[in-house]
Structure 1
Amino acid sequence: MMCGITGTPGTGKSTVADELARRGHRVVHISDVVQPYVLGKDPERDTQIIDTDRMVDEFVPFDGFVEGHFAHLLPCDRIVVLRLRPDKLAARLAARGYSPDKIGENRDAEALDVCLIE
């Protein structure tokens, strides 16, 4: 069974996934396997453009956990959506050096349940 761990950037996905790996579970971080699917960079939004359709089509399910903010698009048997209050999320992203626009975009996405709805 493959379980996806998803959520807005900054909600704790990597922390949870690293703890699962420490406990002996197989964990794949999308950030470690996404490079072949990067189409370019969107400088206005300060993000990479990913061919998620191709990645989903080519992703081979496995027993374990897949972590990343679009893990919910993969063929998972179960999905865990991590959440965080938007004000706390904004503080975490600011501490990471995110731009004010990027913080606002992610704060709004969290407030509007974007990952949960997808």
Structure 2
Amino acid sequence: MIIAVSGTPGVGKTTVSKLLSERLGYEYVSVKDFALMKGIGEPVGEEVEIDVDALAREVRAEFSGKNVVIDGHLSHLVLADVVVVLRLHPKVVAERLKSRGYSHQKLAENVEAELIDVILVEALEENESVLEVDTTGKTPEEIVDEILELLEKGMKKRVGVVDWTGAYDDVLQYLMLGGD
């Protein structure tokens, strides 16, 4: 089974993915590391630009029929048996990214993406089985327990779990309004 764990930067993908793969006994795969190893990703500054179509092909070729947890904010764009989209209150995302030294522009882009469900919408466009999980105020263990419970129930789709429209005022200071 291929499980893709995706979400906006700062939601806890890597921590949750590693714990989930450990609990399931699955191989852990970082999208960034995999793309670099396969020559389909190129370092640009501190980020890695990845050919998403090539990523999808390589993941299918390498992991079809295997048990893996694929971690990365592009993992929802590969063909997976289930995509878990982690969500986190946009203000917490902003605070985490700020502490990581993100530029104001990158911070604003990611806060806006979380606010308006960008990853979730893309995941739904690409995959049949999408499970949305709100990580706000939960430990990694609680999040993994929730994911495992959803998988054990055979749930194929769970979306609409979060609605950040009420969070707009909380994150206004982090957004780039008026083309700043």
How does the TM-score come out when normalised to structure 1?
0.87
Given that 2:32 and 2:41 are in contact with CA atoms closer than 8 Å, whether structure 1 keeps it comes out as no
Partner of 1:81: 85
84, 87, 110: which one pairs with 2:114? 110
User: Between Structure 1 and Structure 2, which shows a larger proportion of helix residues?
Assistant: 2
Per chain length, whose mean CA-contact separation is higher, i.e. which structure has more relative contact order (CA < 8 Å, sep 6+)? 1
User: Which residues of structure 2 form unaligned runs of 5+?
Assistant: 123-180
Whether the aligned pair in 1 keeps the contact of 2:9 and 2:73 (CA below 8 Å) is yes
Percentage identity across aligned positions? 39
Rounded to whole Å, the distance in 2 between the matches of 1:40 and 1:28 is: 18
SS in 2 for 1:34: helix
Q: Map of 1:11-90 to 2, 5 A cutoff?
A: 11-23=11-23, 24-35=25-36, 36-39=39-42, 41=44, 47-59=47-59, 60-61=62-63, 62-90=66-94
Residue 104 of structure 1 aligns to a residue in which SS? helix
Query: Cα distance, 1:47 vs. partner?
Result: 4.3
Pairs aligned (count): 115
Structure 1 residues 64 and 95: alpha-carbon distance in aligned structure 2, compared to 1, 3 A threshold: same
Using structure 2 for the length normalisation, give the TM-score: 0.59
Q: CA RMSD in A?
A: 1.7
